Amino acid sequence: MSDIARVGVVGCGLMGSGIAEVFARSGLDVLVSEASGEALELGRTRLGNSLATAVQRGKLTDEQRAETLSRIAFTTDLGDFADRDLVVEAVAEQEEIKNKIFQTLDQVIERRDAILASNTSSIPIVKLAAATSRPEQVIGLHFFNPAPVQRLVEVIPTLTTSAETTARTENFAVQVLGKEPIRARDRAGFVVNALLVPYLLSAVRMFESGVATAADIDKGMEAGCAHPMGPLRLCDLIGLDTILSIADSMYDEYKEQLYAAPPLLSRMVDARLLGRKSGRGFYDYTAS
């Protein structure tokens, strides 16, 4: 059995709220933090809406929804994470911010063998581990959106992660969360994004060069290759800023052209056309 019962999630955006929901639905004591009270309320609303949708779709009962919410507490003070057994960082893909969070968690968490995990898609885990005095307890635990639905998690040990931490993390993912873990080396993109992002960038280049419309590119992969969602709709779902951040990180590490972001992607991010979360990306969501 897992020795992890009290968990924390730093960040309550799209991924953080989803991870918190996964934890709470697994019967864990969950504490969620955000940088401000306003962001925390948005995250609380996002969590509530997701659980309400699960009830509407018959995935949860009203009683289970209420029980899940009762397991989640909220804070703006990382000092409240002192008693946590595992904490997952799920904030924006900015190395400086993540490093500060890991420094703080290292200082406040009392249990010396507590696991400090990151949900980063692109930043080397070992850089975050180096910000702490316990690098052997730091590991990547990468969920996929939407976290309550997607069964996969990537477990990413670093050169300094202990074998015990890796085993405990994988055991927790399987036995407590009911997820299917795969282990990846600590390299930009890990397994899934190293394969997925070049494909998405190729679709952006095709649209940019006028080969086909966004709708036809997506229809081609959905109807022709049985993909559940076309690449440009998937970009909008993930967030164009996230795609750009992952691509830039992978290009910085490998210097291979297939990881280079197309100019159109950069321009859309500059224009804050980020996809679903901003209302517009390759498609317009303002009417839906």
Nearest CA-CA partner of 172 in 139, 198, 149, 199: 139
Task: Identify whether 227 is a catalytic site residue.
Answer: no
Strand residue runs (E) in 104-190: 115-118, 138-143, 152-156, 180-183
pLDDT reported for residue 28? 98
Nearest CA-CA partner of 125 in 154, 101, 155, 156: 156
Domain spans in the chain, listed from the N-terminal domain onward: 6-183, 194-277
Same fold, 6-183 and 194-277: no
pLDDT reported for residue 88? 98
The active-site residue, picked from 33, 119, 193, 245, is 193
| Topology adopted by domain 6-183 | Rossmann fold (3.40.50)
Cα(103)–Cα(98) distance, integer angstroms: 9
The 10 Å CB-count burial string (b at 16+, else e) for 84-104 is bbbbbbbbebeeeebbebbeb
Amino acid at 154: E
Q: Tokens standing for 164?
A: 């015990």
The active-site residue, picked from 21, 33, 119, 142, is 142
Cα(34)–Cα(145) distance, integer angstroms: 19
Task: Identify whether 70 is a catalytic site residue.
Answer: no
The active-site residue, picked from 121, 122, 245, 249, is 121
Amino acid at 23: F
The CATH homologous superfamily for domain 194-277 is N-(1-d-carboxylethyl)-l-norvaline Dehydrogenase; domain 2 (1.10.1040.10)
- Distances in Å between the alpha carbon of 183 and those of 142, 154, 170? 10, 6, 9
pLDDT reported for residue 288? 64
Asked, as a colleague might, if the bond just before 146 is cis with ω within 30 of 0, I would say yes
pLDDT reported for residue 177? 97
pLDDT reported for residue 1? 64
Q: What is the pLDDT along the chain (288 residues), one digit of tens a residue?
A: 679 999 999 999 989 999 999 999 999 999 999 999 999 999 999 999 999 999 999 999 999 999 999 999 999 999 999 999 999 999 988 889 999 999 999 999 999 999 999 999 888 999 999 999 999 999 999 999 889 999 999 999 999 999 999 999 999 999 999 999 999 999 989 999 999 999 999 999 999 999 999 999 999 999 999 999 999 999 999 999 989 999 998 999 999 999 999 999 999 999 999 999 999 999 999 986
pLDDT reported for residue 94? 86
Nearest CA-CA partner of 51 in 31, 34, 35, 72: 72
- Residue 145, φ and ψ in degrees, nearest 5: -90, 130
The active-site residue, picked from 26, 154, 245, 249, is 154
Nearest CA-CA partner of 91 in 148, 159, 160, 40: 40
Specify the DSSP class assigned to residue 137: G
